[in-house]
Amino acid sequence: MGNNIKDQYIKYSLIIIILVMGVVLLTRITPFMGGLLGAFTIYILVRKQMERLVTKKSMKRSKAAALITCEILFFFLVPLCCIVWLIINRLETVHLNVDSIIAPIQEAENYIKSKFGFDILGSNAVSWMVSKAPEIGQVIMGGISSFLINVFVVVFVLYFMLIGGSTMENYIKDILPFTPGDRHHVLQEIKLIVRSNAIGIPLQALIQGAIATVGYLIFDVPSLILWGLLTCFATVIPVVGTSLVWVPLSLYMILEGKWFDAIGLMVYGVVVIAQMDNLIRFMLQKRLADIHPLITIFGVIIGLSIFGFMGIIFGPLLLSLFLLFVDIFKKEYLDSKNN
């Protein structure tokens, strides 16, 4: 009896220590979460290539891991960094006349106030918006620094994940609190969703960016490459998606007096860009992984607030795993008791 109590004490004390230390480490590692999740995503995509190099080509794990890491670095991370640099460089050349943007807003506000006596924005709202404008640059610079740090984390962590390989995977399998059948189901779900999102989201971004760029070319949008790239990134945001780019762009062109091009771009966005966005998203989801659209929408919304940019992949994964765990609990405990 005494030994049993002592064993229980050691067991639960160890669990508490692990949980407390895990929470502390998680809070400190949050700035690098994007890099860690990125390394995990890339590992899922290249793990089979790694095993082929080791088993069929008889290559040492260290050399194979270095080769694949260099491949990811030069064919994926370096081009991505170049795209980010291009966007930043283009943004520096865009000069917005703040007065020309604020003036129509103030005129509309004064007109509504004189007609209906209703103050929409308040007396200090416009000046507050102007004062907040410089903070945008600070946010952008902070995002750039975080991005570069996480690129280094991706390369560093990915190399050691490839070195660990099957040993790391077997260790993770052993500590998962599931039966062998459920464990296999959970791991397959993770691989399926990560792989489908990691392939489908960039593919959709490229297609949507190309479609939007055609419209920007037709309606004489300035800084064509910049807006096309921003549209690519906007596709990851559910529901609103690319409208975050072409709607403000159309309004800006109206302020510049380009009424015909602005209205044409708005119509093109509603009829072509938005409809193609829904169609492409649906086709890729059915082709790569049969994920319910609501899981994708709410998963991305939740994931962006938790994981940042990598939330577009791991948000739907988190929501899908939650529903899967609920289903496992129901089958293993509730259904068995009812039977």
pLDDT at res. 112: 55
Task: Give alpha helix (H) positions in the chain.
Answer: 2-29, 33-55, 61-72, 78-93, 98-116, 125-175, 180-218, 224-234, 243-255, 259-268, 274-288, 293-307, 311-329, 335-338
Round to the nearest angstrom and report the end-to-end CA distance of the chain.
35
Contact 154, 289 (CB under 8 A): no
pLDDT for 21 equals 92
Low-confidence stretches of the chain (pLDDT beneath 70): 1-3, 87-145, 238-239, 282, 285-290, 292-293, 309-310, 336-339
According to the model, what pLDDT value does residue 273 have? 83
- The predicted pLDDT at position 296 comes to 73
Query: What's the confidence (pLDDT) of residue 92?
Result: 57
pLDDT at 168: 86
pLDDT tens readout for residues 41-87: 888 888 888 888 888 888 888 898 899 999 888 888 777 777 777 76
What single-letter DSSP state applies at residue 331? I
Distance of CA 1 to the CA centre of its chain: 53
Q: How many CA atoms lie within 13 A of 139 on its CB side?
A: 5
Global confidence as pTM:
0.72
pLDDT at residue number 114: 64
Question: What pLDDT was estimated at residue 239?
Answer: 67
